[in-house]
Structure 1
Amino acid sequence: MVEQSDRAPLLDWEEGGFGFGGGGTAAVPGLPNGEAAAPPDEPGAEARSPVAGGLTERRLAGWEEKDQIVAVFVVTFDTRSGNTVEWCLPQDVNLEGVEFKSMASGSHRIASDFIYFRKGGFFGLACFANMPVESALERGARMKSVGILTPSYTLLYRYMHFLENQVRHQLKCPGQYSPLEAFYEDKKAILPPTGNGLVTACPPSTKGVPHNRCCMNPEMKITHPAGCMSQFIHFFGEQIMVLWKFALLRKRILIFSPPPIGVVCYRVYCCCCLANVSLPGVGVSVPELRPFFYINVADISALETEVSYVACTTEKIFEEKKDLYDVYVDNQNVKSHRDSLQPLLRLNSADREKYRKLSEQRQMLLYSHEVDGDCTSSEEDLFILFFMEQNNRIFQTLSEVAGSADPTLTAEHVRAMGLDPQGDRTFLVDLLELYGIDAMLVIDNPCCH
């Protein structure tokens, strides 16, 4: 498990760097089926240039990095009035509820944290810090969060170090906002006329991921949201296969953890990535699996209307709100109160075989790094590609069977998809129904005999 002390190295937020170099294109979260944004000199680049909700590396797509920050704010804990927004720019921005999103419930027990969250059509990142003070008025502790809102979460990590520095500055010198004012003026967003931007799903593809990403600083691989997949797999082990099925079925997944919540926000991101499919047209009729990141009781009304999401919380009361979720993850324990989902909680032989193959591929990759110095791919690329290829194989087979003269799924078809004909029967039935695939499953269910 990732320790809370793991932090990003000194990030120069004026530069769009971190070793992203070389040719190729970068996958853009806002584009379908992992379509890559065209570099500035490629035909059609201007027409496909990402807007709110589809950001990519500015050097690859010509996007101005400064046109991203929608708001910057400081939240403080007041002993009389609780969490309050102390300062913000622009002054007329709607930040209702952000005081609770950017300071997780239970944070008074920890020294520092970082929190990803969603606010309407925007995503936010806030850095929290708690400093002891000799003040009876503040009851011995000063707690603040400094955060930002942007149209997409994919580049929020760039500002982590700046926000960490600023929250420490605010604790030591309350009320000195000039660095934040300068930051906002330099980075403030120029949004489309609709104003709210778009909520993006997880990056649907690794096509065009720059090859030298695996050579990033090891700390960056922990604190960069696109570099946390290996820690995610280590944490959940074989249970990753259970989460994978729930993600493909677009279930409402809620992850509980006590503070710190930062690394748990990355588990939300990784959970979404398990459902990546790059086949054209697959999943267009199903709900988008959207990351909510950190939520609290103030988000209950918003969650009531969501049919598919992944979120995390520090508030145990959510476990009792069973109408809000399908799957509840407490530490490494994945469970569901829904009878229809109980078969999906049990690992079968095919699940264990897939996990064995994943572990084997990872060992081979690490060996190539160590012995050959081959840095053409990273663990993150490996993990994301592993699940994408698995998903593609399933939907490719289902599509071929549905389009054949005899649209009947046999045990051989199921095994060819890397699934267990008996253990994955419920999963397959649900998958066919959700994705509207016109094929018939004829495998005998031993429970019926």
Structure 2
Amino acid sequence: MVEQSDRAPLLDWEEVPPPPPPPGVASASLPSPRKDLRERILANSRALGHTGPGTGWSSGPEAPAAAVGDVDLQSGGFRDGTEREGEKPGGGGGGTGRLSAWDGQERDQIVAVFVVTFDTRSGNIVEWCLPEDVNLEGVEFKSMASGSHRISNDFIYFRKDRFFGLACFANMPVESELERGARMKSVGILTPSYTLLYRYMHFLENQVRHQLQYPGQYTPLEAFFEDKKAVLPSGGDNLITACPGRALGPTVNRCCVYPEMKITHPAGCMSQFIRFFGERIMVLWKFALLRKRILIFSPPPVGVVCYRVYCCCCLANVSVPGVGVSVPELRPFFYINVADIPVLETELSYVACTTEKIFEEKKELYDVYVDNQNVKTHRESLQPLLRLNSADREKYKKLSEQRQMLVYSQNVNADCSSSEEDLFILFFMEQNNRIFQTLSEVAGSADPTLTADHMKAMGLDPQGDHSFLVDLLEVYGIDAMLVIDNPCCP
């Protein structure tokens, strides 16, 4: 009997062999980064005032607390007495076994399950759903990305109103003239949070294959929904509008603890993200911290690109109390299409991905456009941020070295108590914290003047990061003055 893998088979990234130890360092003398990394993650996760995208967002400061369980301040997560599927003590599902800033428990909150099919006469349609009266307008396009007819399978994260969805798509050849030789379907779910969607990846993959082979047989989906359906609060629009962090009280900024988007592939989305963008991560980091509207284009499959949306959001994580209260929240929209244009026209800050090239022409909808590894902006004021400087390269070098040490330690010690995702999130959180702590101290001093020494202390280039820091002071409303000369030809 073959044991089923814990990873989602749609995520077939190439495995990279562990790197050799750093030159001149014997393997026995290498310190293990585990304990320090775990302690730093816990310290950051317990700190009040985290900012960043979360499991949901509120429509205003008076939004009610989310009905998704009680918050445990000690663990930075939820308490509901349940055990996460696929996780074991000291380890985790999917081979990551991570200790994250969002390592508590959340209840199952499936608010809808649906089947979408491509009809040769009508196009994409919702052929079945539970509950029957749920509003799924637009889901037929979100769960079957434009251009999917050219691929055999995919998975898609998306946002529908205040909910998040995950759909698995599959395309099967059939000998049917009516279906024009191909049967295409997606099976998906909606929840108030994207952090637990990974738990249902295998189920959705199996069900979409089942729907292709036996169309119209919905019994497993009906049983699934009956078992997992959410109990939503009565009244209003029946939407869970606030993030769980609100239960901690008014001192916590937005979504106080950054949620974990569990990745089931052992290679992890963070390592793939780092390898894909390389040093250009530092360019994305600046745009994310400035809360710009970032749109990522890629042809199908779009599943891996949805993970890039998540990784971009991680770049803007801050845990300094009071920081980010007045700035737009960086919202992960995941996959979008032309039907989302009216919503995007009202957004001040977001990260999203699309397979529709027409978005490139709609420059009023975004500030930053990412096509493959090419990061560009049509806004003249942001052009200087596209250039990498010495401080950017130094930060990327440090990230690569820390990642190399972690991967090597994993290989030697076979210890999965923390992951590259932990390392990645913590690296940028600490970088961001250093910047805002320094800016807060300078702004609160008798002489609120930023010098080249302050820039260097923040890990920034006094010349190359001049325009970035000017924008940062303006966006976050920090009352400090930058007096460093910025030559016109750096």
Q: TM-score range by the shorter chain?
A: 0.7 to 0.9
Secondary structure of 2:323's match?
A: coil
Equivalent position of 1:48 in the other structure: 71
Equivalent position of 2:147 in the other structure: 106
Find the partner of 1:6 among 5, 11, 36: 11
CA distance in 2, matches of 1:419, 1:62: 35
Give CA deviations for 1:201-259 in whole Å, capped at 9, x if unaligned. 9976579x9xxx9xx9x96335xxxx411111111000000000000000000000000
CA distance in 1, matches of 2:487, 2:471: 18
- How far is the alpha carbon of 1:64 from its aligned partner? 6.4
Describe the shift of the 1:46–1:76 C-alpha distance in structure 2 as closer, same or farther (beyond 3 A): closer
Describe the shift of the 1:27–1:315 C-alpha distance in structure 2 as closer, same or farther (beyond 3 A): farther
Letter in 2 for 1:120: D
Kindly report which structure 2 residues correspond to 1:284-433, keeping only aligned pairs within 5 A, or say none. Answer: 284-433=325-474
CA distance in 2, matches of 1:116, 1:77: 19
Identity of aligned residues (%): 77
- How far is the alpha carbon of 1:391 from its aligned partner? 0.1
Kindly report which structure 2 residues correspond to 1:31-430, keeping only aligned pairs within 5 A, or say none. Answer: 32-33=49-50, 48=71, 59=82, 65-66=107-108, 68-193=109-234, 194=236, 195-198=238-241, 205=257, 220-222=265-267, 227-430=268-471
CA distance in 2, matches of 1:4, 1:27: 33
Describe the shift of the 1:434–1:257 C-alpha distance in structure 2 as closer, same or farther (beyond 3 A): same
CA RMSD of aligned residues (A): 3.2
Segments of 4+ moved more than 4 angstroms: 22-29, 54-58, 60-64, 199-207
Secondary structure of 2:484's match?
A: coil
- How far is the alpha carbon of 1:48 from its aligned partner? 3.4
- How far is the alpha carbon of 1:358 from its aligned partner? 0.5
Give CA deviations for 1:277-329 in whole Å, capped at 9, x if unaligned. 01111101100000000000000001000000000000000000000000000
Preserved contact between residue 49 and residue 63 of structure 1 (Cα < 8 Å): no
Unaligned runs of 5+ in 2: 1-7, 14-37, 55-67, 84-102, 245-253
- How far is the alpha carbon of 1:366 from its aligned partner? 1.7
CA distance in 2, matches of 1:28, 1:304: 33
Letter in 1 for 2:207: Q
Give CA deviations for 1:6-60 in whole Å, capped at 9, x if unaligned. 369xxxxxxxxxxxxx99989999x952799xxxxxxxx976379xxx8788648
Letter in 2 for 1:197: I
CA distance in 2, matches of 1:26, 1:436: 27
Describe the shift of the 1:351–1:62 C-alpha distance in structure 2 as closer, same or farther (beyond 3 A): closer
Give CA deviations for 1:151-177 in whole Å, capped at 9, x if unaligned. 010000100000000000000000000
Secondary structure of 2:129's match?
A: strand
- How far is the alpha carbon of 1:367 from its aligned partner? 2.1
CA distance in 1, matches of 2:422, 2:153: 30
Describe the shift of the 1:191–1:304 C-alpha distance in structure 2 as closer, same or farther (beyond 3 A): same
Give CA deviations for 1:380-420 in whole Å, capped at 9, x if unaligned. 11111000000000000000000000000000000110000
CA distance in 2, matches of 1:335, 1:198: 33
Unaligned runs of 5+ in 1: 9-21, 37-44
Whose RCO is larger (CA < 8 A, sep 6+)? 2
More off after superposition, 198-207 vs 314-323: 198-207
CA distance in 2, matches of 1:338, 1:346: 14
- How far is the alpha carbon of 1:372 from its aligned partner? 3.4
In the comparison of the two structures, how many residue pairs are matched? 410
Describe the shift of the 1:254–1:274 C-alpha distance in structure 2 as closer, same or farther (beyond 3 A): same
Preserved contact between residue 58 and residue 64 of structure 1 (Cα < 8 Å): no
Secondary structure of 1:232's match?
A: helix
Q: TM-score by structure 2 length?
A: 0.77
Preserved contact between residue 28 and residue 56 of structure 1 (Cα < 8 Å): no
CA distance in 2, matches of 1:308, 1:362: 29
Give CA deviations for 1:352-373 in whole Å, capped at 9, x if unaligned. 0000010111111122222334
Preserved contact between residue 79 and residue 137 of structure 1 (Cα < 8 Å): yes
Describe the shift of the 1:107–1:382 C-alpha distance in structure 2 as closer, same or farther (beyond 3 A): same
CA distance in 2, matches of 1:177, 1:109: 26
Secondary structure of 1:381's match?
A: helix
Secondary structure of 2:164's match?
A: strand
Give CA deviations for 1:98-130 in whole Å, capped at 9, x if unaligned. 000000000000000000000000000000000
Secondary structure of 1:253's match?
A: strand
Preserved contact between residue 296 and residue 369 of structure 2 (Cα < 8 Å): yes
CA distance in 2, matches of 1:47, 1:259: 39
CA distance in 1, matches of 2:70, 2:257: 20
